[in-house]
Amino acid sequence: MELSPELIKEIALQVSAKLGTLAGPDEVAALVREVISRLSISPEQNNSSNIAPEPANNRKSKKLIINALGISGNELAEKIKAFIAGKALRITDISSTQVDTFSSLIVLIDYTDYRADLTQLKFELEKICSGAGFKAIIQNSNYYKTY
């Protein structure tokens, strides 16, 4: 099958719509094969040019990991919970450890149903952490290949 620039754009749009911008290479490759297969079918056989997203219960969960270290007593966990409230996000786990005057906080955030800009979300979370006096590392869990 010849891939025209228009077809490549259509594939990229469908992959992005289904997997988001931070999908792993294996997920992208599998979906690209599926999209090419569907686009190879004649329009009469294919009643939709878009691949419908899988139901939430069948999708692989997408998680962000916040690892923050700072001075104790700044209630960072509560600030993150308040920020998450009302968004298409969910805290799946949170852990805090106290060492001397320092506090370490790890937060797992499920963003499977989040459709806004993930880079902006990471920036806002980092800003909340730094505003509370914490240095934060915010990573996608795909890095660890556990989710």
- The tens digit of pLDDT for each residue in 29-65 reads 666 766 666 666 544 444 433 333 444 455 578 899 9
Supply the mean pLDDT for the chain: 77
Q: Please state the φ and ψ torsions of residue 126, each to the nearest 5 degrees.
A: -65, -40
Burial 74-107 (b: 16+ CB within 10 A, else e): bebbebbeebbeeeebeeeeeeeeeeeeebebeb
Q: What is the dihedral of CA 37, 39, 40, 42, to 10 degrees?
A: 130
What count of other Cβ atoms lies within 10 Å of the Cβ of residue 125?
22
Top-tier CATH class for 63-144: alpha beta
Instruction: Say which amino acid occupies 124.
Output: E
User: 3-state class of 88 per DSSP?
Assistant: coil
**Pair 62, 140: CB distance under 8 Å:** yes
- The tens digit of pLDDT for each residue in 62-90 reads 899 999 999 877 689 999 999 998 788 89
**Which among 51, 95, 52 is positioned nearest to 76, based on CA atoms?**
95
Ranking 5-14, 97-106, 138-147 by mean pLDDT, the lowest is 5-14
pLDDT value at 117 more than 90: no
Domain map of the chain by residue range? Answer: 5-53, 63-144
Task: Quote the pTM value.
Answer: 0.58
pLDDT value at 27 more than 90: no
d(CA 120, CA 105): 21
